[in-house]
């Protein structure tokens, strides 16, 4: 499991994620969601290591978005912003209306959306595992990878009522490498929302 989770770790030799890696990450998150776990230690292990990645890298991505957009760097994700509201209400998003007038800022925003797509599968996976295995906030905060399995946490399974986990990331670029701004706004809104939820729920 650790080997699969490590796919989501930031490349130490590159500041940015390559877009060609994203389909593999989506597939990897689906594998982790549906492995036949027999003990709560397994999903707890995934949530723990996923949290280590998303807490640091997710916050860095949110802050980088704020820097590009000229937002509040001290509290870059305090609540729903204008882009999130525009994504909910508008059928068409264009870069100028969200404050990206220069081509360089548009390119940078697009790349940070790619970076966000490295984190989004983990955030979605954590949310799924918390619900599927009824992981409490207390139990997650207690967990350490070195602990032994608890007898009362063996023999777990996902309820048939839990929908299957799927991770579908909207394409950021079209065939001509132009940014699809509706999809970019969706990615922006998704990572901000999920990061806020993590701050509230610690999951």
Please report the pLDDT score of residue 201 as a whole number.
Answer: 60
- The whole domain housing 90 covers 18-145+170-201
Residues of the chain with pLDDT under 50: 203
pLDDT of residue 78: 85
In contact, 99 and 69? CB cutoff 8 Å: yes
Assess if residue 155 is contained within a domain: no
Question: Contact, 33 vs 125, CB < 8 A?
Answer: yes
Task: Report the pLDDT value the prediction gives residue 9, as an integer from 0 to 100.
Answer: 92
Q: Look at the chain and report how many structural domains it folds into.
A: 1
> 151 in a domain, yes or no?
no
Domain annotation covers residue 197: yes
The pLDDT, as a whole number, for residue 126 is 94
Instruction: Evaluate whether residue 153 is within a structural domain.
Output: no
Say which residue the tokens 């999809």 belong to. Answer: 183
């Amino acid at each position: 499991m650790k080997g699969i989770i490590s796919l989501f770790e930031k490349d130490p030799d590159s500041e940015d994620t390559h877009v060609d890696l994203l389909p593999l990450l989506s597939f990897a998150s689906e594998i982790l969601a549906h492995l036949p776990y027999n003990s709560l230690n397994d999903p707890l292990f995934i949530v723990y290591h996923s949290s280590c990645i998303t807490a640091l890298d997710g916050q860095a991505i949110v802050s980088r978005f704020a820097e590009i957009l000229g937002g509040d760097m001290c509290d870059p994700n305090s609540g729903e912003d204008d882009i999130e509201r525009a994504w909910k209400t508008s059928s068409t998003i264009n870069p100028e209306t969200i404050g990206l007038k220069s081509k360089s800022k548009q390119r940078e925003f697009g790349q940070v959306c790619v970076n966000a797509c490295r984190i989004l599968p983990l955030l979605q996976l954590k949310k799924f595992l918390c619900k599927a295995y009824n992981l409490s906030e207390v139990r997650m905060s207690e967990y350490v990878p070195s602990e032994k399995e608890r007898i009362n946490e063996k023999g777990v399974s996902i309820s048939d009522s839990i929908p299957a986990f799927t991770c579908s990331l909207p394409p950021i670029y079209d065939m001509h490498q132009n940014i699809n701004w509706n999809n970019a706004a969706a990615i922006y809104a998704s990572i901000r929302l999920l990061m806020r939820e993590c701050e509230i729920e610690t999951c």
